[in-house]
């Protein structure tokens, strides 16, 4: 069984900074503004040869307004993180000292039976804070660890204690290698239903969902295992136009989504059926194509339209395919994330695309199909030079890339490249997978 270590505390005590240090990379957004972390963010770590999961949580707010939906949802996420954890790291801030919120959190934690609670005093960045007279023993814990999550001092001793507990409880996790499990990222504009789709896949409220645009700020990983399929589902912040980004947190969120696309296998591009296919959707689609990732387009909130209106659905699909040509053989599914309509085919199709990305065509078959087409429709001659293509092959790369050898590759136009791509897609199954075409000088 895997050991889970959750980090809890009030806003701005350094939870995300400690999380990033333990994980070993900047997975959670860190900002001076409080309340940036909202959902539970999972990561993996290893210390002294022992693996464990680490969970970052939002800041617990004292005496919050019951009408504040977002903060109420954050509180729920914190309580879930505490409930599922084996070890809880309770962070307080030595520079601010003890406040009522810390006391309230400690009262909640002390009620949790069979949980190892470790009090961690953060921001002990220099010696003057080491002997502060702040009475953290008032929180009811026997001792505490002084650390600085920003420069790492004291974190080694803290992790030694965490590992000691894990070994004592014999909870050494059997972690599957993530690189063997496909990563499927859900991307799109803000408020198109990305977190709702994750919750529907899992049949539980794993991520915070509100009507507030931009509720999700970080990229969030979750393990999915159903009906023989295993994958990592990644929820991402909504990608806005540059002109619409009003603060730097949104900028970091957008960059985090771009980074997620770079390290994923298949992207589920969600589109709001009411707003239709807009320029921003095409921009996100082009990002996926740029990074050579598989893609499925999901038209969400389709339950609000008449399912019998097949003509509307067909016209919607034709319009999208025209906008994404020549990469137009992309699966387009009409779904409702909230009502769980049309979700059953998404993961199986994603697995098909995952396998197609790794497909290698035999050179003999590729030339047998493509050379007659090229001979019948040769590149346009230019500067009295007759352009010919004699041979083609697929490169031994992780994603589909093809080289066509020509006598004058520098004169072949971009439109002809699109023609070649369209023919490859027509004769060979590269559904939902970007392909790259290169023209090189024949030797």
Taking 50 as the threshold, does the pLDDT of residue 103 lie above it?
yes
Taking 60 as the threshold, does the pLDDT of residue 239 lie above it?
yes
Taking 90 as the threshold, does the pLDDT of residue 405 lie above it?
yes
Determine the pLDDT at residue 74: 61
| Rounded Cα gap, residues 79 and 39, in angstroms | 11
On whether both 41 and 63 belong to a single domain, the answer is yes
pLDDT, the chain, mean: 80
Give how far Cα 392 sits from Cα of 110, 373, 414, 438, Å. 68, 12, 17, 10
Burial 193-224 (b: 16+ CB within 10 A, else e): bbbbbbbbbeeeebbbbeeeebbbbbbbbbee
- pLDDT, average across residues 379-393: 85
**CB distance 264 to 357 below 8 Å:** no
| Rounded Cα gap, residues 55 and 85, in angstroms | 9
On whether both 199 and 161 belong to a single domain, the answer is no
Taking 90 as the threshold, does the pLDDT of residue 98 lie above it?
no
Helix (H/G/I), strand (E/B), else coil: 270: strand
pLDDT top residue among 227 and 371: 371
| Rounded Cα gap, residues 441 and 437, in angstroms | 14
Determine the pLDDT at residue 59: 76
Start-end of H helices in 41-154: 69-84, 100-110, 127-130
List CB contacts of 437: < 8 A, sequence separation 6 or more. Answer: 401, 402, 404, 417, 420, 421, 424
Q: What is the domain range of residue 322?
A: 185-356
Determine the pLDDT at residue 73: 62
- Final residue of a structural domain among 110, 137, 168: 168
The neighbour count for residue 436, using CB atoms within 10 Å, is 15
On whether both 196 and 306 belong to a single domain, the answer is yes
- pLDDT, average across residues 26-43: 50
Q: Kindly report, residue by residue over 327-368, the tens digit of the pLDDT.
A: 989 999 999 998 999 999 999 999 999 999 999 999 999 999
Please report whether residue 175 resides in a domain.
no
Please report whether residue 90 resides in a domain.
yes
Q: Kindly report, residue by residue over 104-125, the tens digit of the pLDDT.
A: 888 888 877 678 889 999 888 7
- Final residue of a structural domain among 302, 334, 356: 356
Taking 70 as the threshold, does the pLDDT of residue 195 lie above it?
yes
Determine the pLDDT at residue 425: 93
For the sheet containing 4-8, what is the strand order?
Answer: 41-47, 50-56, 4-8, 87-93, 116-122, 144-146
Please report whether residue 389 resides in a domain.
yes
On whether both 41 and 153 belong to a single domain, the answer is yes
On whether both 314 and 367 belong to a single domain, the answer is no
CATH of the domain at 310: 3.40.50.300
Please report whether residue 142 resides in a domain.
yes
On whether both 350 and 409 belong to a single domain, the answer is no
Give how far Cα 140 sits from Cα of 137, 158, 188, 215, Å. 6, 19, 46, 35
- Under the banding of pLDDT at 50, 70 and 90, the label for residue 295 is very high
Q: Exposure of 7 by Cβ count < 10 A (0-12 exposed, 13-18 middle, 19+ buried)?
A: buried
Domain count, the chain: 3
Length of the chain: 443
């Amino acid at each position: 069984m895997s050991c889970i270590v959750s980090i809890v505390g009030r806003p701005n005590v350094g939870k995300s900074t400690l999380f990033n240090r333990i994980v070993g990379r900047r997975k959670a957004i860190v900002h001076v503004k409080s309340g940036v972390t909202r959902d539970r963010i999972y990561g993996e770590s290893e210390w002294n040869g022992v693996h464990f999961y680490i969970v970052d949580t939002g800041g617990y707010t004292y005496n919050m307004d019951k009408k504040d939906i977002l903060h109420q949802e954050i509180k729920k996420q914190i309580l879930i993180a505490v409930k599922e954890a084996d070890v809880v790291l309770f962070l307080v801030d030595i520079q601010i000292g003890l406040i009522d919120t810390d006391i309230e959190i400690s009262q909640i934690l002390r009620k949790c039976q069979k949980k190892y609670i470790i009090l961690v005093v953060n921001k002990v960045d220099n010696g003057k804070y080491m002997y502060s007279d702040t009475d953290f023993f008032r929180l009811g814990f026997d001792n505490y660890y002084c650390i600085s999550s920003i420069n790492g001092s004291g974190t080694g001793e803290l992790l030694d204690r965490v590992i000691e507990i894990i070994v004592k409880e014999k909870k050494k996790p059997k972690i599957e290698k993530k690189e063997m499990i496909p990563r499927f990222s859900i991307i799109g504009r803000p408020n198109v239903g990305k977190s709702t789709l994750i919750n529907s896949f899992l049949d539980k409220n794993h991520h915070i969902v509100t009507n507030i645009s931009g509720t999700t700020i970080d990229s969030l990983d979750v393990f999915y295992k159903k009906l023989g399929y295993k994958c990592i589902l990644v929820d991402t912040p909504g990608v806005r136009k540059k002109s619409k980004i009003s603060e730097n947190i949104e900028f970091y969120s957008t960059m985090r989504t771009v980074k997620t696309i770079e390290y994923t296998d298949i992207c589920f591009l969600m589109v709001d059926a009411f707003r239709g296919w807009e320029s921003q959707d095409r921009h996100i689609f082009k990002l996926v194509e740029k990074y050579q990732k598989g893609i499925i387009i999901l038209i969400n909130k389709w339950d609000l339209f008449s399912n019998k209106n097949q003509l509307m659905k067909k016209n919607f699909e034709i319009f999208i395919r025209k906008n994404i040509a020549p990469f137009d053989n992309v699966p387009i599914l009409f779904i409702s994330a909230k009502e769980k309509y049309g979700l059953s085919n998404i993961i199986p199709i994603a697995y098909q695309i995952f396998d197609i990305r790794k497909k290698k065509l035999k050179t003999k078959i590729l030339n047998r199909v493509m050379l007659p087409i090229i001979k019948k429709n040769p590149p346009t001659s230019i500067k009295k030079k007759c352009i010919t293509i004699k041979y083609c092959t697929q490169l031994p790369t992780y994603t589909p890339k093809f080289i066509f050898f020509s006598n004058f590759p520098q004169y072949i136009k971009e439109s002809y490249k699109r023609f070649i791509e369209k023919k490859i897609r027509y004769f060979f199954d590269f559904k939902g997978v970007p392909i790259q075409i290169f023209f090189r000088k024949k030797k």
